[in-house]
Amino acid sequence: MKYFINYLALASFVLILFSSCDIDSKEEGISDGHARLNVFLIDAPAAYDEVWVEVLEVQILMKGNEESNESAWINLPYEKNDQKINLLALTGGNSEHLGEVEIPAGTISQIRLLLGDDNYIIQNGQRINLKTPSAQQSGLKLKVDKPLSAGVSYDLIIDFDASRSIFRAGNSGLYILKPVLRVVAEELATVEGTVLPLVAGPVRVSAILDQDTVGTFTDENGLFILRGLRGGNYNFWFVPNSEDFEEFLLEGKMLPVGQTTKLEPITLDEAAEEEPEEEDENEG
């Protein structure tokens, strides 16, 4: 299978995808000296019914490494059974998660999106294969200059502009794919804390910002951590696993992007005992 390699240019379009996750703060923590990178694919509308591309993987090169040294590239395979993506489904706030990887802190020099050769459009119910020029297969060298700080999670958004990437070759009937791509890596916020007593766990922890909610659970030590959050003023809702304890709402905690915010330990109150119902004197 032939590959063609597309280098990405820095742009200002950012989309952050939230998901609910169950994170163990020890096993899922970012390794020392590393940053975490989540990669998403998005698209702008185009005048076709469908635009399908075969995504193989993303490759990342850190500053200070030679691009000719293939072993220096960090590979992030797109590991789905069907690696073809309809770009026109990635509009209106939708995105495709291409994967997550830890990489050494530093500056990203280049990013490559590797596609297979099974690329096509659907127009009026007809499949039309997309041809790739030989010059495109050898790659266009566009640079990315994005510093990544240790211990910080980033979202990297690849904007695949289908409307500007597909050309009809005169009257030949051939359609040519010359991908036009934009990318940005944006640092996100992290929060961690402890919920006591341990017998109340695992406690459900929800971080709420506007209409968005991201959740996790405490571990056996009462610890929790949430990554990949937008910066902003959050409310936190703590729901114990035991009816013996009360739920708790913590309001107005600011989470700055690019930082890990440590909350003061949360101690849940014991639930008030219900008073026994009085017996009806007339019964019996």
Contact (CB, 8 A) for 209 and 230: yes
Structurally, the chain folds into a number of domains equal to 2
Rounded distance between C-alpha atoms, residue 269 and residue 84, angstroms = 51
| 282 domain residue, yes or no | no
Give the least confident one: 113-122, 208-217, 269-278: 269-278
Q: 168 and 98 in one domain? A: yes
Full 3-state SS string of 189-214:
EEEEEEEECHHHCCCEEEEEECCEEE
- Indicate the average pLDDT of the chain: 81
Domain that holds residue 8: 4-187
Q: Residue 165 carries which DSSP code?
A: H
Give the tokens for residue 118. 């099974």
Beta bridge partners of 233: 254
Alpha carbon of residue 224 to chain centroid: 19
Other Cβ atoms within 10 Å of 238 Cβ, number: 21
| 275 domain residue, yes or no | no
Other Cβ atoms within 10 Å of 197 Cβ, number: 15
Calculate mean pLDDT across residues 128-155. Answer: 75
Give the tokens for residue 222. 């009462």
Indicate if the pLDDT at residue 44 is higher than 90: no
- Between 162 and 51, residue with greater pLDDT: 51
| 73 domain residue, yes or no | yes
Beta bridge partners of 39: 99, 156
* Interval 103-114: pLDDT, tens: 999 999 998 888
| 125 domain residue, yes or no | yes
Q: 90 and 113 in one domain? A: yes
At which of 187, 208, 231 does a domain end?
Answer: 187
**CATH code at position 194:** 2.60.40.1120
| pTM of the predicted structure, to 2 decimals | 0.65
At which of 187, 214, 241 does a domain end?
Answer: 187
* Interval 247-276: pLDDT, tens: 999 999 999 987 889 999 999 999 987 766
Q: 160 and 37 in one domain? A: yes
- The helix (H) or strand (E) run that includes residue 135 is helix 134-138
Q: 203 and 109 in one domain? A: no
Q: 247 and 232 in one domain? A: yes
